Chain A
Amino acid sequence: MIPSSWYLILSAVLFSMGVAGFLIKRSLVTVFMSIELMLNAVNLSFVTFAHEWHMVKGQIFVFFVMMVAAAEAAVGLAIIIAIFRTRATLNVDQIDLMKF
């Protein structure tokens, strides 16, 4: 039996990787993938706690997160395509028109 803490550590590592990818990478698609990574890291910890405390709420919550993530992926990808068509770039540092 693998201890729950391992799952949690894995979750933390995945989340940190997501954050790091979000902050470091310039490609909008990679940033987007980092977000998915963070979401799924959180999903993993949800499942872990649900299993640990024998509560089904955490598992249900994961379904919600997956649903939102799917919707977010659809909208996000559409936005990415729209941006690429208008700006001909996916470098996040160049997509900075919305400021003061």
Chain B
Amino acid sequence: MTLYLWLIPLLPLAGFLINGLLGSRLTKALVTTIALLAPLAALGVVVRAALLVWSSPASLPYVETCPLGWIHAGGLNIDFAFALDQLTLVMLLVITGVGFLIHIYSVGYMSLEEGYARYFAYLNLFLFFMTILVLAENALLMFVGWEGVGLASYLLIGFYFSRTSAANAGLKAFIVNRIGDFGFLIAIFLLLANFGSLSFSALAANIAAHPELQGGVITAIALCLLFGATGKSAQIPLYIWLPDAMEGPTPVSALIHAATMVTAGVYMIARTHFLYDRSPLALTVVAVIGAATALFAATIGLVQTDIKRVLAYSTVSQLGYMFLGCGVAAYSAAIFHLVTHAFFKALLFLAAGSVIHGLSGEQDLRKMGGLRKKLPITFWTMTAGVFAIAGFPGLSGFFSKDAILTAAFQQGSMGKALWFVGVVTALLTSFYMFRLWYLAFFGESRSDDHTHHPHESPWSMLGPLVLLAILSVVGGWMGFGEGLGRFGAFLRPVLTPANAPESSISTSLEIALLAIAVAVALTGWFIAHLFYGSRNNRAANLAAALPGPYKLMVGKYWIDELYNNTIIKPIFLFSRYILGWVVEEGIIRGSAWLLAGIVTLLGELLRRWQSGNLRSYAGWLAAGAALLLFAILSASLGASAFTLHLNWAGH
């Protein structure tokens, strides 16, 4: 059985190279064809692999190694190897499937933009690196993909690079991600130093063979990996780049900053769960970071007025859920939420993009309203997304969120607290999503621009919306049933934690938890309806009654300012004055100047020698010859080995 895994990244790479190098000279239709064919063909390879694997699951994990080798130095052997197992397959289906839909959507959304070919080249480049990331069989190759998606993300956030805010947002995303990557790198070094290998299968086998390995260095590795994951997946403390990343085109936000790239951290934790299973401390940290981020981002999302920023904070919050799931060792539930989130958050972003497109670039919720009749298909698909993320029974978000919350609830008293945070977050999520829904689609239009009439988007955009809406509605059923149903059963061979707790929860308690989740979602809707369902001043009054918390949330807790003052400014000052002035100007430039000065001075003295006077040259020559002769003769005479063969007295 050959699965041609190497084709999966290579096809988007080919698309990137063709469109990136020749795109400006090709016709638009040709650029579009190449850009769409690359992910479609990759999707075809993935689906073929999925079908083959489905009929013979015993063949997994399936590994393809580049026969040329990659890094062989002394005892260090790292192969360029791709591995396919159930987890990879799920990720690949999401990446290429949702990715392809977003490529189609982009054709309509970007049709009038400058740099059409450049956009698709970057998008294909992203798919190339993302598939490498999930296919990688060892941590180093994963790191290659990890860095690569960061690069693609940077390029696409800064797509409108002539806008300063977009260029800065791209830089911010890249730099914050680099901080996280530092943790990842340290983890790779620690893995190499302690286990001598970076292959995931070898590491898992090595750890399984040593049951006495607990905590200690494994905790350190797990925490370093977690730090890397917080950068890529926008968790506390490194979440700050994601809201700014909304400067990029909306389909990019959907693909990279909602559905796929930001979930790389969750994927990485799931992939290395054999480490986390041995470190309860690291798991607890993951869970706490996840829960804290979920709640924290949700509160900021409550008051945002930019439609994309609401969704951005929602994404941070939902990623927090996934971390929470990983933290309570419910890896399958976390991956399940990753998948459903990819469906409904991509849908929400694309629908928001459709709204923005229809309003000719307006992103401010306060200037929307009354779009229900004007953008009917966008409205209905957005509605599906809103209900799915809010967790209404039967929709995808309901199943996955509930799976995580139930898993958290079973984890002792700590888990109960995490569960409570999750429920509160669910309430906030429901509220801010329905707030967005009401503000954008109901009531009267609040636009102050009456020259543009909202228009529904073309079918190249609506088609992906409809497909994603269907997936958001029905996608949850694959995880229906005991232990996440078919989805859980499929992932069980790779994602079962080594010390899985027996499901100790009774059916009645489970139903009670479900009832609470549903009640919370309905409550959120109800409150949103009270505040925004009709024209009233309740929201403004509440904001006026609680100016402190309101300002805190509008100001995003001033985390950016805090980082700015405590970290960035000191580094900046240190760089400018210590590194810039003392080291650069003083030491480096100073020593270079000193050396150059000495040489110049010596040259200035020596060139006087070159007088042009023939007799002075001859004099120096004669003096030199005399000196040489004297040196030779004195050395020879001193050693008294010199006997003149000539007889002074004659023959």
Contacts and interface: CB of A to CB of B under 8 A. Distances in A.
Contacts of A22: 615, 618, 622
Main secondary structure of the interface of A (DSSP, over half): loop
Interface in B16-43: none
A89 interface: no
Contacts of A99: 610-613
Contacts of B646: 4-5, 8, 52
A19 B621 CA distance: 10
Interface in A61-100: 92-93, 95-100
Given A22-B618, A23-B619, A52-B646, A3 B651 contact: yes
B650 interface: yes
Interface string B610-631: 1111110011001000000000
A95 B614 contact: yes
Interface string A32-63: 00000000000000000000100000000000
B651 A93 contact: no
Contacts of A3: 647-651
B607 interface: yes
A87 to B, nearest CB: 13
Contacts of A1: 650-651
Contacts of B622: 19, 22-23
B648 A31 contact: no
B647 to A, nearest CB: 8
B648 A93 contact: no
Interface string B595-607: 0000000000001
A5 B648 contact: yes
Contacts of B613: 92-93, 96, 99
A96 B611 contact: yes
Nearest to B618: A22
Contacts of A31: 614-615
A3 B79 CA distance: 86
A95 B610 CA distance: 13
Contacts of B650: 1, 3-5
Contacts of A100: 607-608, 610
Residue among B613, B648, B649 with the highest chain A CB neighbour number at 10 A: B613
Interface string A1-18: 101110010000000000
A96 B612 contact: yes
Contact of B618 (A4, A5, A23, A98): A23
Contacts of B611: 96, 99
Contact of B614 (A5, A8, A52, A92): A92
Nearest to B604: A100
A98 B612 contact: yes
B42 to A, nearest CB: 69
Contacts of A96: 611-614
A49 to B, nearest CB: 9
Residue among B611, B614, B649 with the highest chain A CB neighbour number at 10 A: B614
Nearest to A53: B645
B597 to A, nearest CB: 19
A23 to B, nearest CB: 6
A9 to B, nearest CB: 10
A92 B649 CA distance: 43
B611 to A, nearest CB: 6
Nearest to A35: B618
Contacts of B619: 23
Residue among B610, B618, B651 with the highest chain A CB neighbour number at 10 A: B618
B641 to A, nearest CB: 20
A85 B87 CA distance: 95
Contacts of A92: 613-615
Contacts of A93: 613, 615
B543 to A, nearest CB: 81
A93 B619 CA distance: 13
Contacts of A23: 615, 618-619, 622
B339 to A, nearest CB: 79
A8 B611 CA distance: 35
A100 B649 CA distance: 52
A97 B611 CA distance: 9
Nearest to A24: B615
A93 B611 CA distance: 10
B599 to A, nearest CB: 16
Nearest to B650: A3
A25 to B, nearest CB: 9
A1 B651 CA distance: 9
B627 to A, nearest CB: 14
Contacts of A8: 646
Nearest to B622: A19
A92 B651 CA distance: 46
A4 B649 CA distance: 10
Contacts of B612: 96-99
Interface of A: 1, 3-5, 8, 19, 22-23, 26, 31, 52, 92-93, 95-100
Given A3-B651, A5-B648, 14 more contacts: A1-B651, A3-B647, A4-B646, A4-B650, A5-B646, A5-B647, A8-B646, A23-B619, A31-B614, A52-B646, A92-B613, A96-B613, A99-B611, A100-B610
Nearest first, the 7 closest Cβ-Cβ pairs linking A and B are A99-B612, A3-B650, A96-B612, A100-B607, A92-B614, A100-B610, A96-B613
21 contacts: A1-B651, A3-B648, A3-B649, A3-B650, A3-B651, A4-B646, A4-B650, A5-B646, A5-B647, A5-B650, A22-B615, A23-B622, A31-B614, A31-B615, A92-B613, A92-B614, A93-B615, A95-B614, A99-B610, A99-B611, A100-B607
